[in-house]
Amino acid sequence: METIVTGKNCEVRFGLQLPTVIIAERINPTGRKSLADELQQGKLDMVGKDAKEQVEAGGDIIDVNVGAVGVDEVDMLPKAVKKVMEATDRPICLDSANPKAIKAALEVYPYKALINSVNGEERSLEEVLPMVKESGSAVICLTMDEDGIPDNVEKRVKIAEKILKRAESLGIKREDLVFDCLAMANATNSSACKITLETMKRVTKEFGVSTTFGASNISFGMPNRDLLNIHFITMSIMNGLCAPITDPLIGGLKRAMRAADFLAGKDPYGMNYISEYRKK
């Protein structure tokens, strides 16, 4: 089973048996005051610059989030998507908690997008899944619901099953569902990493779907976060991770991912690993 998203003359495939791809996260104003300030002023210079830099660093899919205070996402998200399409041919991940903003962005994106996201809440299922079906997009599925993020594996797996059944009842293909098993700060819960990895193993074994998560969440509150993020991603690749949402500019990340793919059997004969080695 393969998940496919597209850009202009570009197709990205990922799945359990395929090399791991990066959903590049930097176009997001959370924690980036300079980007938030630009978006509030209606400017998109940093958006275009970030898109180019992330592709050059190895980003495969470009996540676009404009959710800053005072920003009209319905107006700004489509504009940011157009800016990214001018800067690169990579597929785009439309990232917003506002379904109207997602809908507006889909109207200007002529390729197969990745929507971020739907979750197990009834309102989310009713608002987002029909858009996924109508547009033919793929969608990230968060294993959380009205009660928040469960602190145990079993509940997260049940939410994943609920989303899966609802999506398939609408005719959405399983390969277009990318499950986010939710990385949380290990500094506040020493079981957080283990819960994420075990959920991922269960979801991939029982449903055979593609997976993702926001990798940097795991290291929140700790020093040398890049080191923790890299190790978390490589550990996760061995446990079913397909497409982490992360910063491709982290030094050594791409090489570590290629090594993990090779050891996990996702890079036959190590051809991608050798190619990455030759670049350096």
pLDDT tens for residues 141-172? 999 999 999 999 999 999 999 999 999 999 99
**Spatial contact of 239 and 264, defined as CB atoms under 8 Å apart:** no
pLDDT (mean) for 32-44: 97
- Indicate yes or no: pTM above 0.95: yes
pLDDT tens for residues 171-205? 999 999 999 999 999 999 999 999 999 999 999 99
User: What is the structure's pLDDT at 47?
Assistant: 98
User: What is the structure's pLDDT at 279?
Assistant: 86
Range of the domain at 155: 3-279
Q: HSE of 45 in the Cβ direction (CA atoms, 13 Å)?
A: 5
Which tokens in the block code for residue 41?
């002023």
The dihedral region occupied by 241, where left means phi > 0, alpha psi between -120 and 50, and beta the remainder, is: beta
- Count how many domains the chain has: 1
Q: How far apart are CA 202 and CA 156, in angstroms?
A: 10
User: What is the structure's pLDDT at 235?
Assistant: 98
User: What is the structure's pLDDT at 280?
Assistant: 76
pLDDT tens for residues 91-117? 999 999 999 999 999 999 999 999 999
- Cβ partners under 8 Å of residue 273, min gap 6: 258, 259, 261, 262, 267
User: What is the structure's pLDDT at 236?
Assistant: 98
Q: Look up the CATH number of the domain holding residue 260.
A: 3.20.20.20
* Confidence band of 65 (pLDDT split at 50, 70, 90): very high
Inform me whether the pLDDT recorded for 49 exceeds 90: yes
